[in-house]
Amino acid sequence: MFGFQVARSHFSAYDDDKAAMSETTSFDVRHVGPKDAGYREALRLAIGAGTADTRNAVDATVDGLILDAKHRGLSLDLLFGAFQGSRCVSAVLAVESPGHTALVFAPAIGFAPGFWDATKAALEAVKRASWERSILLLEMLLQQEQTDLSQAVRASGFRCLTRLMYMVRPTATQIPPAVARQRSLEWTTYADERVALYVEAIERSYAQSLDCPELTGRRSVPDVLSGHRAAGPFDPTLWSVAAENGEPVAVLLQSLHQRGDTVEIVYMGVAQTVRGTGVADAVMIRALEAARRVCATSLALAVDHRNTPARRLYQRWGFTCFSSRDAWIVTPPVTEG
């Protein structure tokens, strides 16, 4: 989950402008498409800030986002702007991915009167359009200090799920001396005809999992696999299932970052029945060897900060935390019948 990430600048609101932001101002919320005059400005607002000193960087990010989405077959159609006349005051973008999920971007700062009301209204428009497209999960990643934006997000029905810790380690670092190699596992790389094996392995890993357990059952496992597959350039040799005595006991899904120097562990899970028996270490060995095979210089991952056993594993393997984000989610309302 939370696999599609865009480099962006983050800002915090200034106290002197909060009064102006809270003023009630009329605005028009509407969909913004590639042929509309305000398309790039709306994208700038949604994924950056558009201030003079960051304009070039934000423009480069916009260009990168458009090219990346085209390359990976992701939709940028869910872009809504709040306008005062012809001026776009705020904008929200939901990047739709396979698996009925989308990652939402909203501006972290604004000085126009009614800015936060405009952001909330754009968020509501994105939600309505998402439910109409049968999206089952909207996700946002916010820095802890983005208190003003989090208030608008909360008012739009999102809830803070957890804090994600982003961790990394060099691939050149050796395997920890304390790691035992006694587990003999049978590894199977991904192929379309082996989907059922991967579904079973993931289902087994979900039992009593501490990795964002609130998301379990929100989507089908095939949908989850589709989402993981879209997390980056897909290489089937970076996906593996481990079996022991003919039963799947672990799953490892990795993706090569577009720069080519980092491999991300998109998902790893171990069946409840074999946790604490060295299987997790075997998975980490597999992950490190795979990263080295594609000449990556670093191995990265994200972990739910509540998942203490996983954090201990990663720390023992030399991972260090370089960033953290609060994960916010919202799901469609339940309808009767």
DSSP string, 228-274: HHTTSS--GGGEEEEEETTEEEEEEEEEE-TTSSEEEEEEEEE-GGG
Helices (H) and strands (E) in the chain, counts: 9, 12
Could you tell me the residue ranges of all domains in the chain? 15-157, 167-324
Distance separating alpha carbons of residues 185 and 290, to the nearest angstrom:
16
CB 107 within 8 A of CB 18: no
Distance separating alpha carbons of residues 325 and 257, to the nearest angstrom:
19
Distance separating alpha carbons of residues 250 and 317, to the nearest angstrom:
18
CA distances from 256 to 79, 121, 225, 230, 301 (A): 28, 36, 16, 11, 12
Q: What is the pLDDT of residue 201?
A: 94
> Quick check: do 15-157 and 167-324 share a fold?
yes
Residues comprising the chain, all counted? 337
Q: Which residue's structure tokens are 């969909």? A: 31
CATH 3.40.630.30 fits 15-157, yes or no: yes
CB 305 within 8 A of CB 315: no
Q: What is the pLDDT of residue 4?
A: 34
Give me the residues of the chain with pLDDT under 50, please: 1-24, 50-53, 337
Residue 310 one-letter amino acid: A
Nearest residue to 314 (alpha-carbon basis) of 304, 324, 328:
304
Q: What is the pLDDT of residue 25?
A: 61
**H or E stretch covering 84:** strand 75-84
Q: What is the pLDDT of residue 243?
A: 94
The proportion of the chain whose per-residue pLDDT surpasses 90, expressed as a percent, equals 52
Q: What is the pLDDT of residue 72?
A: 77
CATH value of 167-324 in 3.40.50.300, 1.25.40.10, 3.40.190.10, 3.40.630.30: 3.40.630.30
Distance separating alpha carbons of residues 144 and 163, to the nearest angstrom:
9
Q: What are phi and psi of 218, to 5 degrees?
A: -65, -35
Distance separating alpha carbons of residues 86 and 92, to the nearest angstrom:
17
Q: What is the pLDDT of residue 175?
A: 84
Q: What is the pLDDT of residue 269?
A: 94
The angle, 0 to 180 degrees and rounded to 10, between the axes of the packed helices 308-316 and 279-293 is 50
Ordered strands of the 75-84 beta sheet: 28-31, 75-84, 87-97, 101-105, 137-142, 320-330, 159-170, 298-304, 262-270, 247-256, 239-244, 186-189
How crowded is residue 134: how many other Cβ atoms within 10 Å of its Cβ? 8
Nearest residue to 100 (alpha-carbon basis) of 206, 194, 204, 1:
1
Let me know the angle formed at the C-alpha of 12 by 37 and 106, rounded to the nearest 5 degrees: 40
Nearest residue to 198 (alpha-carbon basis) of 208, 190, 209, 186:
190
Distance separating alpha carbons of residues 216 and 201, to the nearest angstrom:
14
